[in-house]
């Protein structure tokens, strides 16, 4: 696989960005010509566009790198609720590819195309991926509470008006876990008498408590996702490892928590969130200490299952890759034969640009390049 790394990454880059470009155009078409007349139809079609784009990387992880998520899940809950209702996802933000593992499992549940998230507002201006999220109606926040509380209330009503179940991801820690941020988080917790967490940052409860009044009645459940990789794993869980065709082994425990379990009072809801993260911390600690999410966490054990890769993701990738490669080769060959050197070298330049964009995206996904939010000693919004 290593000998094909450069060629394989170029193919992935060309396929991913070309797919994204055409998805952007189709999304824009839906917003201009369909949404004003039929929002339900627009959002139904939007599902297939975003699914086609997201599963490019799902295919890379599962079919090219051979990665499979080991999911611990209550089979009765999966059968009765999963992807059959709207849900708020709470997930630990620890690894470079935690978002990709979430895409992998939501693909198996059948709602990858309707998976959305709270995201930084600046991300919506990022070409291709940011535009996909923007037109798919993600909730973009300024990290200015006075502005964000209005956006949250308005956009939650939009997101959960979709005709099919939507899962909305909230990274309650606010930023990805790093040693430096954890040190500040511990100091913050000690100063304010909050529980000290070992594997998480102190959750920022404002976004959660602000969302609750709107969520009640339209979103019946929280889906708690606990993700872990073995510390002694030979392959580091990163986007680079997936693009290089190296297999990683994610372990994930998912449980459904009825939203009615959360107190209605804002302060009580914030306290509930703190206690909930203490339990999440015990779950992750149990995994790292014993190899099981359940042995020392006090959480009821549920069976594990490994989902097989879906053929649809592979066919989607092959379809886009075939179109991209065929068009590129045709244009290069005809340009070469006709002596159209400007056209020929333009294509070479575009290929180089796509490869460079992929390298930049991989570099940006590294933990060392993560946001400094929470690592500058500023006051955290966990009160």
pLDDT of amino acid 139: 96
The answer to whether residue 287 sits within a structural domain is yes
Q: How confident is the model at residue 383 (pLDDT cuts 50, 70, 90)?
A: very low
Q: Is the pLDDT of residue 376 over 70?
A: no
The answer to whether residue 219 sits within a structural domain is yes
The stretch 44-67 carries a mean pLDDT of: 97
pLDDT of amino acid 358: 82
The answer to whether residue 186 sits within a structural domain is yes
The stretch 28-42 carries a mean pLDDT of: 96
Q: How confident is the model at residue 382 (pLDDT cuts 50, 70, 90)?
A: very low
Structural domain range at position 59? 2-314+358-369
Please give the structure tokens belonging to residue 23.
């998805």
- Parallel/antiparallel/unpaired status of strands 87-91 and 221-228: parallel
Distance, first Cα to last Cα, the chain = 49
The stretch 270-278 carries a mean pLDDT of: 97
Sign of CA dihedral 349, 351, 354, 359: negative
Q: Is 174 left (phi over 0), alpha (psi -120 to 50) or beta?
A: left
The answer to whether residue 336 sits within a structural domain is no
How many independent structural domains does the chain possess? 1
Q: How confident is the model at residue 359 (pLDDT cuts 50, 70, 90)?
A: confident
The answer to whether residue 348 sits within a structural domain is no
Mean predicted lDDT score pLDDT of the chain: 92
Instruction: Give the tens place of pLDDT for each residue, 94-132.
Output: 999 999 999 999 999 999 999 999 999 999 998 999 999
For residues 351 and 365, what is the distance between their CA atoms, to the nearest angstrom?
A: 21
DSSP assignment string, 252-320: EEEEEEEGGGS-SSHHHHHHHHHHHHHHHHHHHHHHHHHS-SSTTT-PPP--EEEPPPPHHHHHHHHHH
The stretch 336-358 carries a mean pLDDT of: 87
The answer to whether residue 281 sits within a structural domain is yes
- Of 168, 56, 34, which is closest to residue 114 (Cα–Cα)? 168
Burial grade of 191 (CB within 10 A; 0-12, 13-18, 19 or more): exposed
Query: Quick check: helix, strand or coil at residue 119?
Result: strand
The answer to whether residue 321 sits within a structural domain is no
The stretch 261-271 carries a mean pLDDT of: 97
> Within 13 Å of residue 239, how many CA atoms lie on the same side as its CB?
19
The answer to whether residue 329 sits within a structural domain is no
Query: What proportion of the chain, given as a percentage, has pLDDT over 90?
Result: 80
pLDDT of amino acid 287: 98
Q: Is the pLDDT of residue 325 over 80?
A: yes
- Where residue 196 sits, what CATH number does that domain have? 3.40.1130
pLDDT of amino acid 366: 72
């Amino acid at each position: 696989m290593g000998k094909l790394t450069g060629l394989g990454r170029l193919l992935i880059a060309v396929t991913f960005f070309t797919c994204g470009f055409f998805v952007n155009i189709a999304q824009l078409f839906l917003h201009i010509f369909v949404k004003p007349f039929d929002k339900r139809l627009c959002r139904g079609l939007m599902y297939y566009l975003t699914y086609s784009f997201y599963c490019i990387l799902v295919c890379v992880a599962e079919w090219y790198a051979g990665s499979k998520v080991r999911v611990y899940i209550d089979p009765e809950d999966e059968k009765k609720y999963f992807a059959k209702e709207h849900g708020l996802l709470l997930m630990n933000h620890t690894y470079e590819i935690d978002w990709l593992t979430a895409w992998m499992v939501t693909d198996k549940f059948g709602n990858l195309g309707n998976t959305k998230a709270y995201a930084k507002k600046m991300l919506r201006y990022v070409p291709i991926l940011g535009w996909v999220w923007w037109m798919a109606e993600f909730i973009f926040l300024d990290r200015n509470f006075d502005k964000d509380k209005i956006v949250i209330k308005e956009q939650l009503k939009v997101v959960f008006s979709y005709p099919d179940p939507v899962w909305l991801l909230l990274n309650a820690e606010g930023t990805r876990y790093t040693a430096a941020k954890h040190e500040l988080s511990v100091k913050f917790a000690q100063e304010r008498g909050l529980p000290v967490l070992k594997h998480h940052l102190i959750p920022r409860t404002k976004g959660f408590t602000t969302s609750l009044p709107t969520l009640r009645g339209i979103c019946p459940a929280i889906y708690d996702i606990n993700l872990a990789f073995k510390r002694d794993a030979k392959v580091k869980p990163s986007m680079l490892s997936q693009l290089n065709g190296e297999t990683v082994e994610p372990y994930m425990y998912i449980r459904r928590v009825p939203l009615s379990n959360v107190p209605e009072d804002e302060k009580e809801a914030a306290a509930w969130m703190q206690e909930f993260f203490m339990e999440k911390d015990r779950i992750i600690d149990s995994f790292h200490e014993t190899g099981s999410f359940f042995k020392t966490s006090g959480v009821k054990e549920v069976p594990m299952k490994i989902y097989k890769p879906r053929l649809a993701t592979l066919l989607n990738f092959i379809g886009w890759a075939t179109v991209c490669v065929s068009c590129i080769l045709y244009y290069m060959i005809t340009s070469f034969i006709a002596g159209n050197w400007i056209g020929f070298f333009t294509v070479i330049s575009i290929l180089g640009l796509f490869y460079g964009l992929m390298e930049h995206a991989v570099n940006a996904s590294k933990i060392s390049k993560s946001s400094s939010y929470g690592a500058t000693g500023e006051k955290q919004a966990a009160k």
